[in-house]
């Protein structure tokens, strides 16, 4: 009897859903639980890309297509939980870009913001808005939204860098525009190092306005960053979860260096054993120096120099450094979440 009644209800509901579907409507109560969750329920899974494993494929791509034909010769680091979606977390894209000696990646611009984190090679360049910067391993380089940029390699060895872009965020807003530059290379109007001297030396032009959302410093050289970490460590004050962790900032505003991606550098001293931590920003890490491991939701990922790994939103994790000092670069959408009042972290209940 009860079964028959339930069947009747279920049939009339199915019939109702079909009829309202024709009016482009749907019942919230059938999907509510997946929409408004008690805590983040991310399709992103923890993952590690060991550079030694992926490098042969990156080099193989170099033999299959030129940087010019590909426009950007990049192997996307796709999160295994979101196959086919060209993203490493729900909100961020990452890929390994290769430029061989003598190649150029032609000029273009787009509303997506990009960061480059140099993994291998030395002396290839990126030109942004009339200034060229030569890149070294560990340098963090910014391509601001809608800025013309082209890349090239006048050195005699391949260069590989990690691209981080806010492609899924721009997609979310349907706000993507792009265009090609009329020639491969843009004209250079400022000498190399101008931006760093003008904006990254504890000085600013006297009438500098607050305007731009991205930092005018577009290369944060690793040599400077590393030296800063080395001096700061002398005070011997270590965060129990993060070791010594700093954010890259826009010197004009004091905010994060880019509007959609927060970037970090972190020193874990020899033998560091972190306490558990989680936050709502899924974080992409690159190991620059040292070796260590990160336990993410109970699974251990052991990494070394040039390896990339991703910690999903709200995943409990613990960093450990092995016998040497370790430096980790990181990027996430924390800057956006903080602007929207969404960002949360927890050290206690995880």
Sites of contact with ligand GTQ (CB under 6 A) = 72, 74, 95, 97, 110, 114, 163, 165
Beta-carbon count within 10 A of 11 CB:
10
Which residue number, 106 or 274, has a Cβ lying nearer to ligand GTQ? 106
Q: How far is the CB of 205 from ligand GTQ (least distance, A)?
A: 28
Query: Is 220:138 a contact under the CB 8 Å cutoff?
Result: no
Between CA 260 and CA 338 the distance in angstroms is 11
Cα angle for residues 314, 319, 324 (degrees, 5° grid): 160
Between CA 242 and CA 225 the distance in angstroms is 17
Which residue number, 112 or 266, has a Cβ lying nearer to ligand GTQ? 112
Position of minimal CB gap to ligand GTQ: 163
Q: How far is the CB of 149 from ligand GTQ (least distance, A)?
A: 6
Q: What is the dihedral of CA 233, 270, 301, 162, to 10 degrees?
A: 50
DSSP line for 69-116:
HHSS-EEE---TTSTTS--SSSS-EEEEEEE-TT-EEEEEEESS-EEE
Which residue number, 117 or 248, has a Cβ lying nearer to ligand GTQ? 117
Between CA 92 and CA 85 the distance in angstroms is 11
Which residue number, 95 or 282, has a Cβ lying nearer to ligand GTQ? 95
Q: How far is the CB of 110 from ligand GTQ (least distance, A)?
A: 6
Between CA 74 and CA 120 the distance in angstroms is 14
Q: How far is the CB of 76 from ligand GTQ (least distance, A)?
A: 7
Which residue number, 95 or 290, has a Cβ lying nearer to ligand GTQ? 95
Q: How far is the CB of 106 from ligand GTQ (least distance, A)?
A: 10
């Amino acid at each position: 009897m009860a079964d028959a009644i339930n069947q009747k209800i279920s049939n009339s509901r199915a019939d109702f859903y079909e009829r309202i579907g024709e009016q482009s409507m749907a019942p919230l109560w059938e999907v509510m639980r997946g929409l408004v969750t008690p805590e983040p329920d991310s399709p992103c899974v923890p993952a590690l890309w060991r550079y030694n494993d992926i490098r042969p494929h990156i080099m193989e791509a170099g033999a299959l297509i030129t940087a010019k034909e590909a426009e950007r010769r990049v192997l996307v680091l796709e999160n295994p939980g979101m196959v086919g979606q060209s993203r490493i977390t729900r909100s961020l894209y990452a890929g390994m870009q290769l430029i061989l000696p003598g190649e150029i990646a032609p000029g273009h611009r787009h509303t997506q913001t990009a960061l480059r984190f140099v993994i291998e090679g030395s002396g290839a360049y990126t030109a942004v808005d009339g200034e060229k910067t030569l890149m070294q391993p560990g340098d963090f380089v910014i391509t601001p939204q809608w800025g013309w940029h082209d890349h090239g390699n006048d050195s005699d060895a391949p260069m590989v860098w990690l691209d981080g872009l806010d492609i899924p965020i721009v997609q979310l807003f349907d706000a993507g525009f792009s265009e090609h530059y009329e020639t491969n290379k843009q004209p250079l109007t400022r000498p190399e190092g101008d931006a760093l001297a003008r904006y990254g030396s504890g000085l600013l032009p006297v009438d500098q306005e607050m305007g731009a959302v991205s930092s005018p410093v577009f290369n944060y050289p690793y040599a400077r960053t590393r030296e800063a970490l080395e001096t700061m460590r002398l005070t011997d004050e270590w965060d129990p979860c993060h070791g010594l962790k700093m954010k890259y900032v826009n010197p004009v505003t004091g905010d994060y260096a880019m509007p959609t991606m927060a970037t970090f550098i972190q020193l874990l001293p020899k033998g560091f054993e972190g306490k558990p931590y989680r936050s709502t920003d899924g974080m992409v890490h690159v190991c620059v120096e040292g070796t260590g491991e990160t336990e993410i939701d109970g699974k251990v990922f052991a990494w070394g120099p040039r390896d990339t790994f991703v910690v999903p939103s709200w995943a409990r994790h613990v960093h450990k450094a092995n016998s040497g000092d370790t430096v980790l670069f990181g990027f996430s959408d924390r800057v956006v979440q903080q602007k929207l009042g969404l960002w949360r972290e927890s050290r206690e209940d995880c």
